[in-house]
Amino acid sequence: MEKVREEGKVVHILVIPFPDEQGHINPILQFSKRLAFKGLKVTLLNLLHENNTLTTYDPSRCSSSNSIINVLERPRAPYNSTEPESIESYMHRLKTSICFHLTKLVTQYRNSNSPFTFVVYDSLMSWVLDLARAFGLRGAPFFTQSCAVIAIFYHIIHGSCKNIPPVAPAETRCELSLTLPGLPLDLHASDLPSLLLPNNNNPQQNNPFFRKLMIDQLHDLPDLMFVNSFHALEPQVIEFIQSQMPLKTVGPTVPSILINKELMDDDHVYGMNLINSTDQDDNNKIMGWLNSKARHSVIYVSLGTRVSNLGEEQMEELAWGLKATNKPFLWVIKEPQFPNSFFEREVKEMHGMVVKWCSQVQVLAHESVGCFMTHCGWNSVLEAITCGVPMVAMPQWGDQMTNAKFVEDVWNVGVRVSTSQENGMIVRREEIELCVRTVMEGEKSRKLRQNGRRWMKLAKEAVMINGNGTSDKNIDDFVKQLRNP
């Protein structure tokens, strides 16, 4: 393998993930591994949860044999109340904690042989850039959203989305659409990030602070921004954004074993999880269960860390919809919320498996998995695309709505469940069964899987080393700029 570490000045990067959100931690951690592989020194600041157990990491997996990352675990400012914490309070504590630790770290390393030269931070924490600049450091945000979503927020800021129509009843929704420069198709109101909708009933998303938090990602940008996507996936959108902002695609940032074994051959998982480490001990059992199933026969169900927001009625419809398919399924949920009759009898009867945690990338890469029922968080979508697994899109909120639209109508690697206001926006069991069968049976299934293989190939090509992959080349260019400012 070509030598990738150059002699000379040590370039030291400080990486700051957004804590408590797996879809934010995983991509920036993997990006950190890529930077370390290129010969940079990387330190990742991991803020511990109050109970010191929520975010756990395995040092041997956060790094690999040729990609070493220094993970620093630090406490955060406590929350001294028994009441649920508001997003304003949470972000204030986060900012206070990161400002304290960043100041201390920069001061600590300033007179060493490897002072920090650059800060990479989650785009939701845009204020990190001001702090970095105060210490004379450059910085760049890392976006864990699609380029399409970034483009939508750009248009919001610049006035192209002033008159967003409300989500209409299903029978009239087709008449309500927006045409935005840079996007490959028109979007209905229900395809936009849900926090933008005027009749959104979610109190968290209607919070003006939350909306401002999302919009602020694109304010006062530095001369560089990283996005977890790749050019072939969103060419039209990327070219539009690059005409307006200094965007560099660096994805898909997934464990290298899925895409390029030459890169980091022992990089099988991310290495940091929002679970107790004891839960990971069951992964061998899960892999054994998958090994016992036929190729492309298993439905993998994971609806994100906020699955409890689905409610009891939706959970029951989902459970009975899965049963009706008569296919084995692996369902990930932190706390079982099934009707007792289903959990006790039906799951065991049909050889379903319910777990609190699994290594998602290992599951998606397993040949027995034929369908991924997903909330369409961006990281989950990219993992499925990288593994070539077709999806049943069941978006809940935020950018998941836009991601689901692209999964079905742009990339053609899945189908999106239908809901209506008449049934309280609940996805009924019949719809769940229909969507799963569409993805796993018949001619439509064959086309979806064929498209999946095509995108899987393009995802792998994007991160090919030696300058052949578009994302890898962008990372190389960044490293060269740091070595030769």
Strands 272-273 and 298-302: unpaired
Strands 56-57 and 272-273: antiparallel
Two tokens at 201? 């009933």
Q: Which of 12, 20, 92, 122 is catalytic?
A: 122
Element (H, E) at 9: none
Determine whether 58 is an active site residue. Answer: no
CB 349 within 8 A of CB 376: no
Determine whether 477 is an active site residue. Answer: no
Cα–Cα distance measured from residue 230 to residue 220, given in angstroms and rounded to the nearest whole number:
24
DSSP state of 173: G
Cα–Cα distance measured from residue 434 to residue 420, given in angstroms and rounded to the nearest whole number:
16
Say how many CA atoms lie within 13 Å of 254 toward its Cβ.
28
Cα–Cα distance measured from residue 158 to residue 156, given in angstroms and rounded to the nearest whole number:
6
CB 384 within 8 A of CB 374: yes
**Phi, psi of 142, rounded to the nearest 5 degrees:** -115, 115
Q: Which of 24, 231, 366, 375 is catalytic?
A: 24
Two tokens at 389? 């697994």
Residues forming a β-bridge with 273? 56
Q: Is the dihedral of CA 124, 125, 127, 132 positive or negative?
A: negative
DSSP state of 368: T
**Phi, psi of 473, rounded to the nearest 5 degrees:** -65, -40
Amino acid 109 reads Y
Number of CB atoms found within 10 A of residue 329's CB = 22
Which are the catalytic amino acids?
24, 122
